[in-house]
Copies of this chain bind each other. A is one copy, B any other.
Amino acid sequence: MLNKETIRDWFISLQQSICEQLEEADGRGKFISDAWDRPGGGGGVSRIITNGQVIEKGGVNFSAVWGKAPEHTLKMLKLNESSADFFATGVSIVIHPHSPKVPIIHMNVRYFEMSTGQYWFGGGIDLTPHYVVKEDAAYFHQQLKKACDQHHPSYYPEFKKWADDYFFIKHRQETRGVGGIFFDYLKEDEGISKEDRFKFVQAVGQSFAPIYTHFMRKNKDLLYGEKEKQWQYLRRGRYVEFNLVWDRGTKFGLETDGRTESILMSLPPQANWQYSHQPQPGSDEATTLELLKKDINWIS
């Protein structure tokens, strides 16, 4: 029987494995480890890398927390119990590279369980290139599709669309990047067992390091200059806007006294804002903006 301890332990091993693969591909940066306790129950280990050869700032966080379920969770589950306990565990990653030619990446895999019996898996992975390169976006989506298709034919199309809708900066009418997959509330359902759901989540988690180290190795030596660097800072500004204004996990964490430094490890080392910045028509920057749209089929 698949219990929460098994899932939690697998997330711990995933964190370790991803950190090792990222360190190897970076060649210089080393993760530091910062363990923390949650006053209401549980805790986590934030692993942070700074000033690598490729990675400027990144975090690979594990947490397993429990306690009294928040009001809004009881409401969402239509539970009449005046109190019930929750358990939540997962791994969250954001990597900001030095080079504007290497994309930002985010991944999250998580498991949630109530003392009243409900449980579900959730997660997602999305890529935010400072410059959108169609071939790179196609590679990214092909890898995700491969991981999805091995588990259910509806996963990729459904979760790709969900990612387009989720990773959307509404006040800019821009997607955060080239999307990816996003899923939530996956439980035993329609002939898919809890074990099968977990196997899918494991496949997503294991896909992260091979995908991102591919981009690290392939793009790290591409040339760029001051113009590209300035554009990167503006795009990182958009990343900040998405995370602080729209990202449900960030908002929920900050509003419910989550561990601030672990939640905000997703923010870039430096971000810039310029009033009404408009890229030159026809420039690579303008082309990128045109490709930050929903419903692009990157694979076709």
| Contacts from A to B (Cβ < 8 Å) | 34, 46, 48, 50, 57, 59, 170-172, 233, 237, 240-241, 244-245, 251, 254-255, 257-258, 260-261, 263-265, 267-276
Contact = CB atoms under 8 A, between A and B. Distances in A.
Given A50-B274, A172-B260, 16 more contacts: A34-B276, A171-B254, A171-B255, A171-B260, A240-B240, A240-B244, A245-B251, A245-B254, A261-B275, A261-B276, A265-B275, A267-B273, A268-B273, A269-B272, A269-B274, A271-B272
B237 A267 contact: yes
A268 to B, nearest CB: 7
A271 B236 CA distance: 10
Nearest to A261: B276
A146 B258 CA distance: 41
Contact of A275 (B48, B237, B251, B257): B48
A272 B57 CA distance: 11
Contacts of A273: 57, 264, 267-271
A50 to B, nearest CB: 7
Given A171-B254, A245-B254, A270 B269 contact: no
Nearest to A243: B244
15 contacts: A34-B275, A46-B275, A171-B254, A171-B258, A171-B260, A172-B260, A233-B270, A244-B245, A245-B245, A245-B251, A245-B254, A265-B275, A267-B273, A271-B271, A271-B272
- Which residue, A170, A244, A257, A258, has most C-beta atoms of chain B within 10 A? A244
Nearest to A172: B260
A45 to B, nearest CB: 13
Given A244-B240, A245-B254, A272 B270 contact: yes
A240 B57 CA distance: 19
Q: Which of A233, A257, A272 counts the most B-chain CB atoms under 10 A from its CB? A: A272
A121 to B, nearest CB: 27
A159 B112 CA distance: 43
Nearest to A241: B244
Contacts of A59: 275
Contacts of A244: 240-241, 244-245
A111 to B, nearest CB: 25
Contacts of A240: 240, 244, 271
Nearest to A266: B273
A181 to B, nearest CB: 26
Nearest to A34: B276
Nearest to A274: B269
A39 to B, nearest CB: 14
A270 B233 CA distance: 8
